[in-house]
Structure 1
Amino acid sequence: MTLPPSSSIGLTPTPASRARLTSLRRRGRALPRLRRTARQILTTRVDATSYGDACDRIQAWAEARRSCYVVAANVHVVMTAYQNPNYQAIVDRAALVTPDGMPLVWGLRWLGIKGQSRVYGPDLMLAWCQRAAQVGLPIYLYGGTEATLGKLNLYLQQHFPGLIIAGTHAPSFRPLSPAEIAEDADRIRQSGARVVFVGLGCPKQEQWMHSQLGQVKAVMIGVGAAFSFFSGEVSQAPRWMMNLGLEWLYRLSQEPGRLWRRYLVNNPMFILLFGLQLLREKFLGDR
């Protein structure tokens, strides 16, 4: 496997990267959530970051055994948050919100973050697995089915020699009882994992991560369909379509029954609302 060009930059800790890690560690127990550059897109804070910066932050939090989570935000996440105050509060609690979708990358650029690139959840997963294999921090895979996890486990072990996969678990698709939720958290704690990849899809994965704050002493990262992609069960859009912001069209062609509302209703609504936001900021200076 060859990592995408965008995700292969800054994965191995460099002198500058190590200095940033030292700075992050010296900040004490408070999570550095709002101290980085960020912009508000509709009602959601989206952080200006990169694969290297995100991996540095994840490493610092993982080494400190902090309980926190990362949201990879796309239009679906932003629109769900805009329409649901409870979900908005969950996204607001994230230690890091990455621009997962190209519309959010363009949005950050239009809002003054020049040169912002995409930090796509599945690519961030690969980037962190490469880093984790180098620094020896164990990961955990939570989500999907047992068959999916078996294929994903094999894929990651083949492509990242030295990666420690501390455990995997495929929770039931039905709502879990409090006892089952507690059992899952205990299983993850006992594994010793420092980073937990969560593949439950939006909004379920963000809701689960938020519910586990303080229970799971690890960095939780929601990666959506990454488990299905890397297990080979679902194909990813060609890279050129991703770069043009057309991944939604490819995925819609694959799963029209499940995704039509997400893309054909939410996408036009996002364009309208964000267009109005840009006009307000341009003419009223309202940011």
Structure 2
Amino acid sequence: MTVDSKRNVLGVGVDATDYADATERVVAAAQQRRPLALTALAVHGVMTGVLDPAHNARLNSFDVVTPDGQPVRWALNLLHHAGLADRVYGPLLTLHVLRRFAEEGLPVYLYGSTEETLGRLVPKLAQMFPALKIVGVEPSKFRAVRPGEDVEIADRIRASGARLVLVGLGCPRQEIFAYAMRPLLDMPLMAVGAAFDYHAGLLRKPPPWMQRAGLEWLWRLGLEPKRLWRRYVILNPAYLGRLAAQKTGLWKANPPAPATERLSTFDV
């Protein structure tokens, strides 16, 4: 499934992939000591790329972009007959990857979120995967990177012996961070979104039927209406409109050329 698995969804290249394939791609990159950038995109992540050409180009340079939300999986099946039976949900993919890293003895570095969240996350992961080696934990500083600080962060990660960086900075900060840091690291970076909060027990998961029906956005909106209403009330209809236009040929959704330059400013 890894051969030519990119498919155009509103101008963003999303992989027609599954949990097993995405997991193996991350593990292989770690074992071979080569960089790889992965993100899991729901509607908000795709629309962020649609509305920002520079970010679109960054997303299209990622090695793996999984269909995190059911509407993104539906788009792959509708537009490209991908035949995907399930999405590749970031928090669940994180567990698949960590299970394999624990089995292989490959160390992990956690970057992002807050000290409180990480303080609760680490023991939860240790409980789920007793053999997992977490060799570094670094909360977000919630500010722009200082000149030369990207190299300092990369040096700390390499010195830890990590073979994977999980990045929990939220969309689109985490994708921008992973894109900027990939040239500095010989290991995969996974932008995992709300996985830190979910697995730390700070964010309640929607019931399975809501996840299957693509209604996770409604659950999240109910939990955080003030923060998320613009994301869902505005972007969800825009996504459906663009999807219909791409399907009918009214809009070609041509992606920009992949980005090649590395960012000198981004958030850490």
TM-score by length of 1: 0.84
Tell me whether 1:259 sits opposite 2:228 in the alignment. Answer: yes
The residue that corresponds to 1:193 in the other structure is 162
For 1:148 and 1:273, the matched residues in 2 are separated by 36
Tell me whether 1:132 sits opposite 2:101 in the alignment. Answer: yes
- Work out the percentage of aligned pairs sharing the same amino acid: 43
The residue that corresponds to 2:127 in the other structure is 158
For 1:137 and 1:180, the matched residues in 2 are separated by 26
Q: 1:109 to 1:103 in 2, by over 3 A?
A: same
Give per-residue Cα distances to partners, 1:2-30, cap 9 Å, x unaligned: xxxxxxxxxxxxxxxxxx9xxxxxxxxxx
1:221 corresponds to which of 190, 195, 200: 190
Tell me whether 1:230 sits opposite 2:195 in the alignment. Answer: no
Contact 2:26 2:36 in 1 (8 A): no
2:212 corresponds to which of 237, 243, 249: 243
For 2:193 and 2:211, the matched residues in 1 are separated by 16
Q: Which moved more, 1:79-88 or 1:176-185?
A: 176-185
1:1-287 matched pairs, under 5 angstroms = 35-110=3-78, 111-280=80-249
Contact 1:109 1:116 in 2 (8 A): no
Give per-residue Cα distances to partners, 1:215-253, cap 9 Å, x unaligned: 122100001111111111111211211110000000001
RMSD: 1.7
For 1:144 and 1:205, the matched residues in 2 are separated by 10
Higher relative contact order (CA 8 A, sep 6+): 2
Contact 1:108 1:116 in 2 (8 A): no
Which 4+ runs in 1 deviate beyond 4 A? none
Contact 1:49 1:116 in 2 (8 A): no
Contact 1:42 1:277 in 2 (8 A): yes
Secondary structure at 2:140's aligned position in 1? coil
Residue segments in structure 2 that go unaligned for 5+ positions in a row: 255-268
Give per-residue Cα distances to partners, 1:60-87, cap 9 Å, x unaligned: 1111111221011111111110110110
Give per-residue Cα distances to partners, 1:128-158, cap 9 Å, x unaligned: 1111111111111100111111111000000
Contact 2:140 2:169 in 1 (8 A): no
Q: Which moved more, 1:41-50 or 1:177-186?
A: 177-186
Contact 1:48 1:116 in 2 (8 A): no
For 1:158 and 1:115, the matched residues in 2 are separated by 32
For 1:70 and 1:266, the matched residues in 2 are separated by 23
For 1:137 and 1:66, the matched residues in 2 are separated by 14
For 1:239 and 1:183, the matched residues in 2 are separated by 42
Secondary structure at 2:249's aligned position in 1? helix
Residue segments in structure 1 that go unaligned for 5+ positions in a row: 1-19, 21-31
Contact 1:72 1:121 in 2 (8 A): yes
Deviation at 1:277, TM superposition (A): 0.9
Deviation at 1:176, TM superposition (A): 2.4
